[in-house]
Amino acid sequence: MSGAPPVIVGLSGGVDSSVTALLLQRSGRKVAGLFMKNWEEEDASGVCPAEQDAEDARAVAALLGIPFHTRNFAAEYWDGVFEHFLSELAAGRTPNPDILCNREIKFRTFVEHAEDLGYERIATGHYARLRRIDGRVELLRGVDPGTDQSYFLHALDQAQLARAEFPIGHLHKAEVRRLAADAGLPTQAKRDSTGICFIGEKHFPEFVARYVKADPGPIVSVEGETLGEHQGVAFHTIGQRGGLGIGGRKGGSGEPWYVVAKSVAERTLYVAQGEHPALYGQRLRTAAVHWIAGSAPGADFRCTAKIRYRQADQSCHVRMLGRGAAEIRFDEPQRAITPGQSVVFYAGEVCLGGGVIEASDAFRGGLQE
């Protein structure tokens, strides 16, 4: 591996990126680490979680004896990711900032800084794999279905994937933890981070309320009965259970209430009780689909897809529309199809790409026959 290009690892302060750096160093590569700070605010306790993460990343680099760099990408994150996140919420959709963060920050801004530092490749602790064939790159699932992160990487293009490496994509999480423990890495037992990309674990409604104004309106059942009031449709998502303040109504079935649709124009949140048919749809339409190979497999084809992370693959038929959009018909009804989220396509272990959901044939989903 001595002839392999130098590589810089996105060291996040977590165990996955730590083991990524460990494996690359053991392979004989010229390796460095870079910590990306992308959010400036402290949490409610006055603590800045990024500072602890940076210290953990620095400690890993010191233990491995590799150069360590830090960069503040907060301005790029705000302009390239967070403003879009807020505009989507205001439009009544539920965006996935992790996908945009990967495309715009981890595999674009990071790459630019890696070049400036003299590194030809970047590596991250994502659970995914790459296959290079005849000058192009395929994105493959991680071998462990429980940790596979190809869903979040589907928006990357050939140029981005050509510069990337995913050294732990062939491992299960338990193996990563074991490698970290055997090497004495300080992150070996650190809890996995969750929450919005780079922002961390925050109470979502309270966090969003800092940036999106309250816009109260009625909570209405699918039968047309007004049940209560919400503070803004932006604070809710399709399929949400709880946080509605309408449980335990007299004469009700006792089953939980779920959000089934939202209307920004009417400032209305639509709900149904139990596993109501209004929660389900079988067709959806996307915005322009990003295909990792550069083009769709065909104008009309079958594959599998998922409409959310960790969902099992669902068989479907894809029909390409104008301007790169697509219509997808699933073999089975899908629960809580959510505008703003992404539908991601697969052919076996290969991730083909994906697109943002615009409409569906679910209750008030906007997709007509």
Do 318 and 171 lie in a common domain?
A: no
Is residue 271 within 8 A of residue 260, CB to CB? The reply is: yes
CB 165: neighbour CB atoms within 10 A?
Answer: 21
Do 74 and 167 lie in a common domain?
A: yes
Domain that holds residue 29: 7-183
Q: How far apart are alpha carbons 122 and 1 in whole angstroms? A: 16
Q: How far apart are alpha carbons 191 and 15 in whole angstroms? A: 8
- Residue 47 clears pLDDT 70, i.e. is over it: no
Write phi, then psi, for 323 (nearest 5 degrees). 60, 30
Q: What is the CATH classification number for the domain harbouring 291?
A: 2.40.30.10
Active site residues: 101, 197
CA angle in degrees (0–180, nearest 5) for 64-66-71? 120
Q: What is the mean pLDDT of the chain?
A: 93
Do 241 and 297 lie in a common domain?
A: no
pLDDT tens-digit map of 206-241: 888 889 999 999 999 999 999 999 999 999 999 999
Do 270 and 293 lie in a common domain?
A: no
Q: What count of Cα atoms within 13 Å lies in the side-chain half-sphere of residue 24? A: 33
**In the block, residue with structure tokens 């939980």:** 256
Do 307 and 218 lie in a common domain?
A: no
- What is the end-to-end Cα distance of the chain in Å, rounded? 56
Q: How far apart are alpha carbons 3 and 122 in whole angstroms? A: 16
Q: How far apart are alpha carbons 319 and 298 in whole angstroms? A: 8
Do 57 and 156 lie in a common domain?
A: yes
Q: How many domains does the chain have?
A: 3
Task: Answer whether residue 199 is part of any domain.
Answer: no
Position 1 confidence tier, pLDDT thresholds 50, 70, 90: very low
Mean pLDDT, to the nearest integer, of 88-109? 95
Q: What is the CATH classification number for the domain harbouring 24?
A: 3.40.50.620
Q: Where among 275, 291, 315 does a domain terminate?
A: 275
